[in-house]
Structure 1
Amino acid sequence: MAKMSPEDKLAAVQRYVNGKESSRTVAADFGISHRYLLSLVKQYEHNGVEAFIRRYTNYTKAFKLDVLNYMAEYGTSFNETAAFFNIAGASSVQNWKKQLDTQGEDALQPKKKGRLSMKKESTKQPKNVLAEGSTEALQARIKQLEMENEYFKKVECLSSSQGKIATKDKVKVICELRHKYSVKALVAYADIQRSTFYDMAKKFDLPDPDVDLKAEIQAIYDEHEGRYGYRRIRDELANRGQKVNHKKVQRIMKELGLKCIVRMKKYKSFKGTVGEIADNILDRNFKAEAPNEKWVTDITEFKLFGEKLYLSPVLDLFNGEIITYTIGSRPTYSLVSEMLEKALKRLPEDHQLLMHSDQGWHYQMKQYHHSLKARGIVQSMSRKGNCHDNSVMENYFGIMKSEFLYLKEFESIEHFKEELEKYMNYYNTKRIKAKLKLSPVQYRTQFTQAA
């Protein structure tokens, strides 16, 4: 992959953001992977041009801890975290996490740059060695002594009854303690090879230590009718006071055969230019600081009992809440005008609302423009044929269809409408959004109370 100058990085990003070319096309022209281009785009979205200015990289220990704490709290990836804090490479964040996990906070202390003097002895400690007398070293020593004491007691019971402790007995003892102490430390103290331990442990019919957790995951999955993936189940477990790594939840769900349903494509309402096209003011800035700052809308299609139904909702970008919706058997303008009329009843008189949609013919109508202008609402539209400009609405339709349309069985059109109303209420008031860790209404209520 070609090494890029700051100017080249900025040129590649601006060409992708402002143009109509795919990430793969732009990346190929600059001799980089499309994944690397997308990571540059994310850095640019968070930090603008400053993202590509050469930065001082000898970060302090406090800064590194802030970065890792943010990543742990919000569940962001290494790439997302690096982009948010304007760090040149995601690998730096990955290395900090590894150092913290294996060596403790002291390992994050920045090292002096330059070569070590040949006249002085290096004071650098070997890896995984904690400073003598430090809090971390004392805690590690206490943990080691606790492990040795528990192991000795269990082994002593076996040796007194059998006269001699066999390797298979050591393996049994380690299996009992492995969920409290690390296997590496246990096998080292027992003086057996790790490979020997794992080979022998496979042959034992041991009780499943995750039986209660599996039952809890299954219950959450069933409660939400298969709508939750491993990330939301992890968040729900955390809300219930049980912190579990998302990878473990993912592994258990795979063992249990629990999987979310795939998504389908949506209805397209673009029929060319039939009215006035508004500028793309939203410009993919999907973040809102407060309710009723940015709304997005679109139309999607259902096929049921040989008929078609059309849904027109409006969504608040602040918390992902569905403000209101209309549903009809034909995608007429009244479908959109009624939706807008219902939504405006919930809009405060004092507002600075931006209303975004695609270039569907409904949103080009003079009546629609006039209704927005009369309430002092700024109109914004996606670029022609660019679904990413309204991706939040697209994402909602995918979730709603996979969690509701393809999951439920309906007796009639009326039954479908009744169940849809229940799902909308569930989505707003109960269903956890991964980024918020709460449902949309819970998040809005929390914000309002704090304001």
Structure 2
Amino acid sequence: MSKLNKKQRLKIYNDWRNGNKSLSVIASEIKLNRSTLQYMVNLIDRHGIEIYDKSKELFTKEFKEKAIVRSLTGNNSINQLSLDLGLRSNGILYNWIREYKKNGYNVVIKKKGRHSVHESEEAIPNIAQRFREADPATQRRKLEIAYRQCLRKKTKRLGSETSQEIAQAVTELRQEFKVSLDYIFTVLAQNKDLPLIARSTYYNIIKPKDKPKRKKPGFLSRMKEIFDYHQRRYGYRRVAMQLRKEGYAVTDRAVRYWMHKLKLKGRRRNKRKYSSYKGTIGKIAPNLIHRGFFAIRPNMKWYTDITEFHLNGQKLYLSPILDGCGGDIVSYSISRHPDMI
């Protein structure tokens, strides 16, 4: 919203208010999101265009905390709450909530300007301490040594490893050190001397091989006979039911598998649904709405459509007329024919 000045905002608001253009058309013209424009016109409608005369506001910690608590515990949406608070953009409150959760559900006010040298020196030991706790150097060294030993056992000299041997070494490290695969690949990537494979290659190597093919069961010939006897009308459920009646211990799933394997597909008669469409009849009216269905005044935009109902074996057609301002039903008509005659 910062790229629009006050005059442009006022023009957009007047065009929308007077019904000259819909917000969808305006959004496509100025290359802005429609929801952003909707919030802007609602804000001007609530607080007036003077809301944009104020200089950039600096919100206090207490104000942010109250707004965040109201948003997380109240029934109002974030957009509605932003309008009540008079925030210039609906994204301000979203950013506050994101930072609030990121900082452990605490409101942190960032200091303006550059950090002092003393603050930077005090922050360095804390960051280093957290890094050592999350990723100890001793554990990294142990991991690298164990990786080299695994590869030496599998090959005569370091540097001639195959992808299969590297994948086996990585798997042994995961089992020995009880660490994640991400951690192992991160540590190994930091040492350029250690051979490494791509993560996708590792998964392709360790994934289980294809399962052995199923042995053909003894009921296949009888299954085909049942399927052909009933003129290919039976599906796998009815074929399985007939096999069980004859004493075969089979499941629906097994019959479905072998029928699909042998391409035994039942016949289906397609029932064409009734369609009254006969092509383009008459002339097509010009597109005056441009998907801007909302109207700011009653009797400004009316809409209608035909809905088909099935009642007692017959069809009934309802055509209501809706007002675009409040969605009220202006009138309606009911007919037994889709042309409403």
TM bracket, shorter-chain basis: 0.3 to 0.5
TM-score by length of 2: 0.38
TM-score by length of 1: 0.31
